[in-house]
A = this chain, B = another copy of it.
Amino acid sequence: MPKLDLGAIEPTNATGYPEPHDKAVAGRWYRRLAPVAGLTDFGASHVVLKPGAWSSQRHWHDGEDEFLVMIAGEATLVEDDGPTTLRAGDCAAFPKGVRNGHHLRNDSAEDCVFLVVGGGERTGGGYSDIDMLFTADNRYTRKDGTPYGSDRV
């Protein structure tokens, strides 16, 4: 059945972010859809942000295009140029290699929901506001290369 039974896919709020960077994403509940659906050409995640939660630390990907569409509620997209409000139906795109970190924050009092797609090569990337990078082999390091000792999940 091509329609996905989202209710049958257990959401997780797992993160590999080292402390204290993990706190901001504790209210991010996501379902990875591609493995369930048998897709391999790109990844797709269904994400619910509880009030106050962030989608991630503000980041970019060196080798992966990213695209999202809001499904419900309201989120604040933050990047170098400031905040932008996203509502149901709004789309945003983040081409790989553009080192203008982005994330969504749920500044509202209700859950918000979005769908995010990523494709390309896992060649690493970085974070705009904190001393952290992620590597092609999914480790977190400081910007000087010192490992944090935790991996991307």
Interface, chain A (partner B; CB < 8 A): 1-4, 6, 33-34, 37-42, 44, 46, 64-65, 67, 69, 71-72, 77, 79, 81, 84, 86, 88-96, 100, 102, 113, 115, 117-120
Contact = CB atoms under 8 A, between A and B. Distances in A.
A33 B38 CA distance: 24
The binding surface of chain A is classed by DSSP as strand
Contact of A89 (B72, B81, B102): B72
Contacts of A6: 89, 91
Q: Which are the 10 A-B pairs with shortest beta-carbon distances?
A: A37-B93, A41-B119, A41-B120, A41-B65, A38-B95, A42-B119, A2-B92, A39-B65, A4-B91, A42-B42
Nearest to A98: B38
A93 B46 contact: no
Nearest to A36: B93
Contacts of A120: 41
A106 to B, nearest CB: 16
Contact of A39 (B40, B93, B113, B115): B93
